[in-house]
Amino acid sequence: MKNLEDKRFCFYSWCVILFMAFILILRWNWTPTFIDIYYHLLAAINFKKAGGVLAVSLWEHAPCGRPHLYPPLLHILMLSALKLNISILTVARFFELISFPVVLVTLFITIKRFFSPRMAFWSVLISSSMYSFYLSCVDFLAASLAFSLGLLAFYSLEKKKIIAAIIFMSLCFYSHTSISLFFLLALIIYSLFKKEQFKNALAVIIFSTVIYLPWLIHQLRFLGFVDISRVQENFPFELNILGFMLAVFGLGLAIKNKHKYNLALIFMVAVLPFLPLRYRFISGQGILGVILLAAIALDYFYNKIWLVAFKLKRAWPVLIYILAVLLGLFLVSPTVTIKNSQAQFNLFGSTYANIFPGLETKGRDNEISIYLPKAFKPVFDVVLENTLPGDLITSNFEYLAGFISVFTDRKTTSAMLSEIKPFKELNPFRYAKLIIWLKDPQMLTWQPEALIKALDLTKIAETEVFYIYENPNANIILAKDICAGGKLQLGSKPIVPLGVCLGILIGFSLIAGFDLSRKV
């Protein structure tokens, strides 16, 4: 009977995952969803040109550049797709399409291993319905990759597959810094909770850190260029009311039965140091502990309802409970969104109510795509017609310059992810051949007169959204003389060739797969 129930809940979980994948396929033409992906695409494109991983980014803050400190795994994966001559847009859409289903699959197999197929089903159901969690996964692909790999590290460790756990945790480090630190802290706490796993967990922590050392040393070498004050997470802080209410109840249950539910408590404690990054770790991937606690509560209520059904010798109480949960999570799922100290209540706040074609809303900054072919095709054409490959471009909106750079193959004098400072601070407009100026929606006819006069700019094109200016005095040769020549040379040569990167990844995949498949 138990085996039959397990199979049934496994089936339910896969139905939810496949249904979500189906919806995302329907949304193919509406992607990419957010601007963050263009940073990763730009890195992957320049890795492809160089033939491997670069230590210095010369495609942003050009021509001087800045250290490239972002863990490179996602860029290597994107680069591999680009090497197959897959278009840039298709690569972006594909990685966004698979990110959330992969997160749900890894969550399912991990929770199934630690608890049961039924707990895994509740976890998949809750996580798939939390719209802020969904948005964080599809918007921030590197964080989602690290999240999935971190879960796989825990899954492998619980199976006592230490080699696989080390590999997955190492790849987690090479995917995203803060998410990998979250899982590292969770591993440390896990080793203290489960004494029998202490040596295994310690081995995973030590050896995965050793494997990460080359990139860690590179990051520490340029630590002086990191400005934490520039880290910006200005997204709405969103709370799923039903999910958090269930989590509060589940917390009481977990505390009463710490031995059974210690994993949920581990993730709740591990997230505490990261709470200042409230969107990422309360509304986004860091909500893992909340998801598990809510699943514990749903499982508790299911057991109570099942006992009632057993006494009545009727199945309808269980069916009504499951239908109520599906209705509450799939459709209703009320949320409170807080932005600029103002709270907004949304009764229909579930993922499904927000992304199903025809029902989707576009009220959040991080759910609005800037990929608008009709608006940007004229801009791309002007840039390509009025610049040479070595010329630089910029914009009054840094991510816009990066976006245009992706599709025109022109370097920018500005940069996305501004927390990494350039080797030398230069006026971004002074050395740019073209300046794409995003119009003020409140004053569409206003132009930056002071800048036009100071640089003797000429307006060469105008659309409904942009002014495009040419800078006749942009002197790329002078700018390069100002920059540090050594850094320019460092930025043009890969520190690890692509072939070596792919060889390591393939080797890691085969070793991890073999370790997981062998019987102990």
Each residue's pLDDT expressed in tens, for the chain with a length of 520 residues: 468 888 999 999 999 999 999 999 988 888 888 888 999 999 999 999 999 999 999 899 988 889 999 999 999 999 999 999 999 999 999 999 999 999 999 999 999 999 999 999 999 999 999 988 998 899 999 999 999 999 999 999 999 999 999 999 999 999 999 999 999 999 999 999 888 899 999 999 999 999 999 999 999 999 999 987 766 666 667 888 898 999 999 999 999 998 899 999 999 999 888 877 766 667 778 889 999 999 999 999 999 998 888 787 788 888 888 888 888 888 788 888 777 677 787 878 888 888 876 655 555 666 667 777 788 899 999 999 999 888 999 999 888 999 999 999 999 999 988 889 998 888 889 889 999 998 876 666 677 888 888 889 999 999 888 999 999 888 665 666 667 554 554 556 888 999 999 999 999 999 999 999 987 6
Helix (H) or strand (E) holding 277: none
Amino acid at 244: F
Q: What DSSP state is assigned to residue 439?
A: P
Cis peptide before 32 (omega within 30 of 0): yes
Distances (CA, A) of 84 to 53, 75, 177: 17, 14, 28
Q: Is the dihedral of CA 379, 380, 385, 391 positive or negative?
A: positive
Q: How far apart are CA 55 and CA 57, in angstroms?
A: 7
| Contact between residue 55 and residue 490 where contact means Cβ atoms under 8 Å apart | yes
Q: How far apart are CA 215 and CA 218, in angstroms?
A: 5
The residue among 116, 108, 106 whose CA lies nearest residue 260 is 116
**DSSP-assigned beta bridge partners for residue 470:** 434, 458
Query: What residues have CB less than 8 Å from 47, skipping those under 6 apart?
Result: 53, 54, 72, 75, 76, 79, 494, 498
**DSSP-assigned beta bridge partners for residue 344:** 337
The residue among 239, 245, 237, 296 whose CA lies nearest residue 267 is 296
